[in-house]
Amino acid sequence: MILDGKCPKGPIQTSWDRHRFDLKLVNPANKRKYKVLVVGTGLAGGAAAATLGELGYNVEAFCYQDSARRAHSIAAQGGINAAKNYPNDGDSIYRLFYDTIKGGDFRAREADVWRLAQVSNNIIDQCVAQGVPFARDYAGYLDNRSFGGAQVSRTFYARGQTGQQLLLGAYSALSRQVKAGTVKLFARTEMLDLVVVDGEAKGITVRDLITGEIRTHVGDAVVLCTGGYVNVFYLSTNAMGCSVTANWRAHKKGAFFANPCYTQIHPTCIPQHGEHQSKLTLMSESLRNDGRCWAPKKKGDNRHPNDIPEDERDYYLERKYPSFGNLAPRDIASRAAKEQCDDGRGVGPGGRGVNLDFSDAIKRVGEHTIRERYGNLFEMYEKITDENAYKQPMRMYPAPHYSMGGLWVDYNCESNVPGLFVLGEANFSVHGANRLGASALMQGLADGYFVIPYTIANYLAKTKPGTVKADHPECKKSVEDVKAYNNRLLNINGKRTVSEFHRELGKIMWENVGMARSEESLKDAIKRIPALREEFWKNVKVTGKGEELNQQLENAGRVADFLEFGELMAKDALHRNESCGGHFRVEHQMPDGEAKRDDENYCYVGAWEFKGVDKEPELHKEPLTFENVHLAVRSYK
Amino acid sequence: MNLTLHVWRQSGPNQPGKLEQYDAKNVSPDQSFLEMLDEVNEELIKEGKDPIVFDHDCREGICGMCSQVINGVPHGGQERTTVCQLHMRNFNDGDTIYIEPWRALAFPIVKDLIVDRSGLEKIMQAGGYTSCHTGGVADGNAILVPKVDADYAMDAAECIGCGACVAACPNGSAMLYTSAKVAQLAALPQGKAEAAQRVCAMTDAMQEAGFGNCSNHYECQAACPKGINVKFIARLNREYQKSLFK
């Protein structure tokens, strides 16, 4: 099937404005008759639930954490992009649009990206009005810093906790709506199934994580804001509870999964230190404003980094990409770091690390200024590694961080299942094959505050409210199915724990479907994942009961989904016989090692249809056309 | 290193609980505290026993989910550190460690080390926001915010809502938590318009949710993993007094 993204035609500059006018509206008195279910309360979900509630819709919001303030958006450190051009350094909506398309290695839809760039400015205004304490200069104006993949300073920030502050802004707007009675919040509640009635999304089945109760919530539309899937690698920068579960269960009910092989491996994370490790910690890309990446020129150089003289250091990003230098985009910076380590010039235990050095910046602007800019990051680094980065370089290594792929959506953020909308990291829409730094926060809030309020009305206006009730046979069936699935997990009573399986899957994924992929490695993964899945269903041990707080059962369900999803990810990576952005196939590279795209054959979105576990998924394509940006070889040299 | 743990086990809110003893063997100093507990749990699962349940999520000290009292101190006593960021190199071989949940009247125990912190939500819902609508707001630079005010607001806004302040307070007060939000918004021009209603509504909600009052012990500041300063409580009191004359 050829998919249609339903993008507006005509000049891109006015595309969103024209589209907004063409969308149907729901009259204010009718809005409260519609119930909208919003799953996830990160930037996308929190903003969507608050805004839809404010508009007068009857909203129910769900999160697995104990509070809507804890979603992993909170961990974003560096900042949020907007095309304000306050520094007068040449930014514009067009430039943000261009940088994002190019940064994504020409694998995103032009119209969606244009809209994102256009509403980026509204986001900053909105957050300021909410009381988000963005950094200001001494005159009281908003301050900016630079991020990778851009030659302008367009990133707004709140110390090293921008995600936290933006999320707390959305959370406060949400809290206001809870008080107003327009939003009902269900914390410690996890979505485990999508209820589809006559082909349309009409509800979700959830598990109350305290009591274990399985129940269905019905609504007139469902909005998934359930984040990304890089915990499939086991070790990632995501929170422990982040999973593909909500998206995967929706996928199993018919929603197409687009570009699952596009995963972002973030260049600056604290290297792994042991087998027992449960997660990896990211150090903000903003550090590359002042930190210089280098590796020793000599192989196996074990000297303390401070003892290696200047002329024996290879500032490899500055050498390879003189015009962007240390601010090369993430996929490129990650591969460059891996290249140094593969060459035997890595630092730290196991040689899997490169230096991020602040000594020049400290000499230039003083330790005080560096402390003011990144104090909390240096503190966090010291807690984890016991090393003082004011005195010696940080050690960094790439780690799984973000997923550009996600459920397929059209220009309205609606999936191929009518009534099912997908926002933020959970969808695939704007980042192409590589996301630029400080763009995730932008997308989450753009979708939640400024896109879904318009586009959902277009669907609801065509729908009669309240047609499906909780006693509908599809609801009952969904509850029974989820109960049966959980009971199956509880009754295996095997010998290996859930996290043992997760670690093993993660190892397969990292080694075969990680930063460098080959036909051989992918075929190996496609062979090994089903075998591991089979063992899981025979030999996993989940203690306790279903009708109680049971963290083992929660994790077992999530890992079971990763064991299915990982296979799709490998299949997508195998089918995409080109390199682009974060998807690097070793067979396809330029003589200098850069990713080599194949626009003739792969300039499309690959969206997969679920056909059953252990059955071949079906690929549907949405061709990508570039009318405003010329398809070109991406260069940061 | 090898450690002896005494962990609070309680099967439900109205069930009796008690400290149970576990051994943590071959602990690496580079492990985080929660990774140490993960391994204890792996052993328990293999023995067919119920693992210890505890709240955790981001494991990088920002989501505010983790909540354990370690040797009598919320988050374990390392300055400005959450449990998830506490590393085992701060302990010694042979140590005995006591692990308990947050203890406060307003935080009923759900199970083992997990408590119900929904009281904090009620305080936020009472007024922890500016009543701006989505869209239709002024340009971000239309109202200038002096850097000192923006920095002051950011100092307060760093609160992660973990509730350690409540757990540390002999009165079980949520005053530091409440004051951080009151002070942040009162310091910014965007939040000033509603400052008086906000401080009254939030302090009322705090009392209704069963939190105690402040009697200047300052335990909250000592336990706060973000180092939120008690000066914000003074600010809250000042805002409260001002509201009485409005």
Angstrom CA distances, A35 to A59, A201, A219, A298, stand at: 6, 12, 5, 63
In angstroms, the separation between the Cα of residue B230 and the nearest Cα of chain A is 19
Please check whether residue A110 lies inside any domain of the structure: no
Query: B57 contacts in A (CB within 8 Å)?
Result: 65, 70, 72, 239-241
Cβ(A395)–Cβ(A270) below 8 Å: yes
Q: Are residues A359 and A492 in the same domain?
A: no
Residue of A nearest to B67 (CA): A66
Pairwise CB contact (< 8 Å): B132 & A161? no
3-class DSSP state of A585: strand
Tokens of B53: 């349940």
- In the chain, the amino acid numbered A370 is I
Provide the pLDDT for residue B68. Answer: 98
What does the mean pLDDT of chain A come to? 96
pLDDT tens, residue by residue, A86-96: 999 999 999 99
CATH number at residue A509: 1.20.58.100
Mutate which: A41, A59, A67, vs B, most B CBs within 10 A? A67
- Interface pTM (ipTM) of the complex? 0.98
Would residue A141 be called left, alpha or beta, if left means φ above 0 and alpha means ψ between -120 and 50 degrees? Answer: beta
Whether chain A has a CB inside 8 Å of the CB on B63: the answer is: yes
Closest to A585 (Cα-Cα) out of A506, A637, A520:
A520
Q: Is pLDDT at A350 greater than 90 in this prediction?
A: no
From B17's Cα to the closest Cα of chain A, the distance in A is 16
CB contact under 8 A, A549 and B63: no
**What 3 state SS string does chain B have?**
CCEEEEEEEECCCCCCEEEEEEEECCCCCCCEHHHHHHHHHHHHHHCCCCCCCCCCCCCCCCCCCCCCEECCEECCCCCCCCHHHCEHHHCCCCCEEEEECCCCCCCCEEECCEECCHHHHHHHHHHCCCCCCCCCCCCCCCCCCCHHHHHHHHHHHCCCCCCHHHHHCCCCECHHHHHHHHHHHHHCHHHHCCHHHHHHHHHHHHHHCCCECCCCCCHHHHHCCCCCCCHHHHHHHHHHHHHHCC
Query: At which residue do the structure tokens 């200024």 appear?
Result: A369
- Annotate A98-151 with DSSP letters as a single string: HHHHHHTTS-S-HHHHHHHHHHHHHHHHHHHHHT----B-TTSPBP-B--TT-S
Burial-class residue A138 by CB neighbours within 10 Å (0-12, 13-18, 19+).
exposed
**Do B157 and A552 count as a contact with CB atoms less than 8 A apart?**
no
Give the C-alpha separation, A188 to A209, whole Å.
5
Q: Is B76 left (phi over 0), alpha (psi -120 to 50) or beta?
A: left
Residue A594 corresponds to which tokens in the numbers above? 């850069």
Q: Does a structural domain hold residue A145?
A: no
Q: Test A133 with B184 for CB contact under 8 angstroms.
A: yes
Find the mean pLDDT for residues B198-217: 98
Contacts of A276 in chain B (CB under 8 A): 28, 31, 35, 38-39
**Max Cα separation, chain B?**
64
Instruction: Tell me the pLDDT band of A373, cut-offs 50, 70 and 90.
Output: confident
pLDDT tens, residue by residue, A168-187: 999 999 999 999 999 999 99
**Paired strand residues for A186:** A62
What does each C-alpha distance from A247 to A236, A251, A334, A429, A601 come to in angstroms? 18, 6, 27, 15, 28
CB contact under 8 A, B190 and A128: yes
Q: Chain B: give the shortest CA distance to residue A68, in Å.
A: 9
Q: Is the pLDDT of residue A372 over 90?
A: no
pLDDT value at position A286? Answer: 87
Chain B, nearest residue to A70 by Cα: B63
Per residue in B14-68, pLDDT (tens digit) is 999 999 999 999 999 999 999 999 999 999 999 999 999 999 999 999 999 999 9
Query: Taking the alpha carbons of A220, A225, A226, A228 in that order, is the dihedral positive or negative?
Result: positive
Q: Say yes or no: A486 and A618 in one domain.
A: yes
Asked if A386 and B87 come within 8 Å (Cβ–Cβ), the reply is: yes
**Structural fold of domain B118-244:** Fumarate Reductase Iron-sulfur Protein; Chain B, domain 2 (1.10.1060)
Interface of B with A in 157-216 (CB under 8 A): 157-158, 160-161, 184-185, 188, 190-191
Mutate to test the interface with A, among B15, B45, B56 (most CBs of A within 10 A): B45
Has residue A303 been placed in a domain? yes
Spatial separation of the C-alpha atoms in residues A404 and B92, rounded to whole Å: 43
The model's pLDDT over A178-229, given as tens digits with 9 standing for 90+, comes to: 999 999 999 999 999 999 999 999 999 999 999 999 999 999 999 999 999 9
**Strand bridging mode B96-100 / B69-70:** antiparallel
Nearest chain B residue to A376, by CA: B226
Nearest to B116 by CA among A536, A65, A556, A439: A65
Could you tell me whether strands A604-609 and A257-258 are parallel, antiparallel, or unpaired per DSSP bridges? antiparallel
Confidence of residue A147 (pLDDT cuts 50, 70, 90): confident
pLDDT, tens digit, 9 for 90 and up, residues A388-406: 999 999 999 999 999 999 9
Query: Do A383 and A487 fall within a single domain?
Result: no
Would you say A356 and A333 are in contact if contact means Cβ atoms under 8 Å apart?
A: no
Q: Which CATH superfamily is domain B3-111 in?
A: Beta-grasp domain (3.10.20.30)
Instruction: Choose the closest CB to B111 out of A178, A240, A549.
Output: A549
Distance from the Cα of A225 to chain B's closest Cα (Å) equals 17
pLDDT at B86: 97
pLDDT for res A313: 97
In the numeric block, the tokens 């959506």 are attached to: A409
Structure token pair of residue A243: 């999973």
CA distance A563 to B57: 21
Contact A107, A629 (CB under 8 A): no
Q: Which one-letter amino acid corresponds to residue A356?
A: L
Q: Are residues A271 and A389 in the same domain?
A: yes
pLDDT in the model for residue A637: 85
Please, which residues have CB within 8 angstroms of residue B22's CB and are 6 or more apart in sequence? B4, B5, B6, B7, B40, B44, B52
Q: Is A131 in contact with B188 (Cβ distance < 8 A)? A: yes
Which residue of A144, A172, A208, A500 is the best one to mutate when testing the B interface, meaning the one whose CB has the most B CBs within 10 A?
A172
Which CATH number covers residue A295? 3.90.700.10
Given the residues A330, A345, A558, A585, the one annotated as active site: A330
Q: Which residue has the higher pLDDT, A149 or A596?
A: A596
The reported pLDDT for the residue numbered A148 is 83
Cα–Cα distances in angstroms (integers) from residue A266 to residues A279, A333, A394, A406, B222, in the given order: 14, 8, 15, 18, 35
Domain extent, residue A616, equals 479-623
Mean pLDDT within A538-554: 97
pLDDT greater than 90 at residue A593: no
For the segment A288-316, the average pLDDT, to the nearest whole number, is: 95
Least confident range of A468-477, A571-580, A591-600, B221-230: A591-600
* % of chain A surpassing 90 pLDDT: 93
Phi, psi at residue A571, to the nearest 5°? -65, -40
| pLDDT, greater one: A452 or A145 | A452
Per-residue buried b or exposed e for A325-335, using 16+ beta carbons within 10 Å of the residue's own CB: bbbbbbbbbbb
CB contact under 8 A, B140 and A134: yes
Q: What single letter denotes the amino acid at residue B241?
A: Q
Distance CA A584, CA A580 (A): 6
Distance (Å) from the C-alpha of residue A224 to the closest C-alpha of chain B? 20
Residue B140 in contact with partner chain A when CB distance is under 8 A: yes
At A275 the pLDDT is 82
Phi then psi for A118, rounded to 5 degrees? Answer: -65, -45
- Which of A260, A257, A256, A259 lies closest to A416 in space, CA to CA? A256
Q: Do A239 and B144 touch (CB under 8 A)?
A: no
- Residue in chain A closest to B123 (alpha carbons) equals A175
Domain boundary among A346, A363, A396: A396
Domain end residue (candidates: A396, A426, A447): A396
Residue B84 has pLDDT above 90, yes or no: yes
For A448-462, what is the mean pLDDT?
98
Interface test with B, best of A240, A395, A499 (most B CBs within 10 A): A240
pLDDT class of B138 with cuts at 50, 70, 90: very high
Q: Is A330 a catalytic site residue?
A: yes
- A133 contacts in chain B (CB < 8 Å): 150-151, 153-154, 157, 184, 188
Q: Is A179 close to B126, i.e. CB distance below 8 A?
A: yes
Task: Give me the number of domains chain A comprises.
Answer: 2
For residue A513, how far is the Cα from the chain centroid? 17
* Residue A608 φ then ψ, to 5°: -100, 140
Per DSSP bridges, beta strands A221-224 and A420-422 are parallel
Distance CA B35, CA B28 (A): 10
Q: Does B109 touch chain A (CB under 8 A)?
A: no
Question: Considering A370, A396, A422, which residue would you say is the last residue of a domain?
Answer: A396
Residues A278 and A378 in one domain: yes
In the beta sheet, which residues pair with residue B78? none
Q: Which of A475, A476, A479, A495 is nearest to A487 (CA)?
A: A479
Q: Please indicate whether, in this complex, the C-beta atoms of B42 and A497 are within 8 angstroms of each other.
A: yes
Residue among A73, A128, A154, A456 with most chain B CBs within 10 A, to mutate = A128
Residues of chain B contacting A137 with CB distance shorter than 8 Å: 147
Q: Is A25:A461 a contact under the CB 8 Å cutoff?
A: yes
Residues of A in contact with B63 (CB under 8 A): 65, 70-72, 74-75, 239
Percent of chain B with pLDDT over 70: 100
Query: Average pLDDT in the B124-138 region?
Result: 96
Q: Is residue A370 part of a domain?
A: yes
Quick: pLDDT tens for A403-447: 999 999 999 999 999 999 999 999 999 999 999 999 999 999 999
Burial of A113 (0-12, 13-18, 19+ CB in 10 A): buried
The reported pLDDT for the residue numbered A285 is 86
Q: Identify whether residues A489 and A612 lie together within a single domain.
A: yes
